[in-house]
Amino acid sequence: MKVTKAEWVISAVKPAQYPADALPEIALAGRSNVGKSSLINRLINRKNLARTSSKPGKTQTINFYRINDILYFADMPGYGFAKVPKSVKAAWGRMIEGYLLHRRELCGVIQVIDLRHPPTRDDQNMYAWLKHYGIPAIVAATKADKISKGQWPKHLKRIREGIGLVPEDPLILFSAQTGQGKEELWKGIRRLTGN
Ligand code: GDP
């Protein structure tokens, strides 16, 4: 997909601030520091629109980006961060749960997982939760450039089995560094949004 326009619209802390123009939405979920911002930037060919954050878990907002005036990316705060009070985790949970359950514009979620490591408990919970509520997902296994090609199948299998990926959800090998998987991911996004 050729992205000619990509703009940050709002960092929302509550539903009243979510965009009201009813465009289809794709949400992004992933552990803090997994490479979610880098993936978004690569998808839209911008160096730094989705800020690559060095403060894991700090941003408790949903960032909305309008792409080509046809869809939104809703970048959710990273999960699995250590060293935050229980109350913050609870607030995170409520916000994300509320968004995922009630947002009519939501077409699906890109869950970003680090290809190098086995899925974490938080990765497993997030995916299980999406499936429990019947939300379509695409799993992007990122940082593929960090391991050798020969190891990819083994690592993909570990992710597929670790989260219990259902056959209808694609698992896409991705690298924000090389751009690998970008077109395949866009294909998946278009399938979800009907664009
Ligand atoms: P976020 O917290 O999930 O948004 O993660 P960031 O996008 O800020 O990425 C965290 C770190 O991983 C940064 O240092 C990125 O440069 C690095 N990173 C992200 N994606 C990739 C990738 O595909 N390949 C490599 N080599 N590094 C990556």
Residue 1 domain-assigned? no
pLDDT in single tens digits along all 195 residues of the chain: 899 999 999 999 899 999 999 999 999 999 988 999 999 999 999 888 877 554 554 557 899 999 999 999 999 988 876 667 777 778 888 888 999 999 999 999 999 999 999 999 999 999 999 999 999 999 999 999 999 999 999 999 999 999 999 999 999 999 999 999 999 999 999 999 987
pLDDT of residue 110: 98
The candidate with the shortest Cα–Cα distance to 147, out of 136, 135, 156, 137, is 156
pLDDT for res 52: 56
Tell me how far apart the alpha carbons of residues 168 and 100 are, in angstroms, rounded to a whole number: 19
CATH of the domain at 23: 3.40.50.300
**Residue closest by Cα to atom 15 of ligand 1:** 35
Token representation of residue 162: 């670790």
- What are the backbone dihedrals phi and psi of residue 38, each rounded to the nearest 5 degrees, phi first? -65, -40
- For 100, how many CA atoms within 13 A lie in the half-sphere containing its CB? 27
CA of 114 to the centre of ligand 1 (A): 10
Interface confidence, given as ipTM, is 0.99
Q: How far is 68 from 50, CA to CA, in rounded Å?
A: 16
Which pLDDT score, from 0 to 100, does residue 54 have? 46
Task: Among 52, 62, 81, 111, name the best residue to mutate to test ligand 1's pocket (greatest count of ligand atoms within 8 A of Cβ).
Answer: 52
Pocket of ligand 1 contains residue 63 by CB under 6 Å = no
| Domain membership flag for residue 103 | yes
- The atom of ligand 1 lying closest to the CA of 41 is 7
What pLDDT is recorded for position 165? Answer: 98
CB of 33 within 6 A of ligand 1: the answer is yes
In the numeric block, which tokens belong to residue 25?
């939405």
Within-domain flag for 148: yes
How many domains, the chain? Answer: 1
Range of the structural domain that residue 123 is part of: 6-193
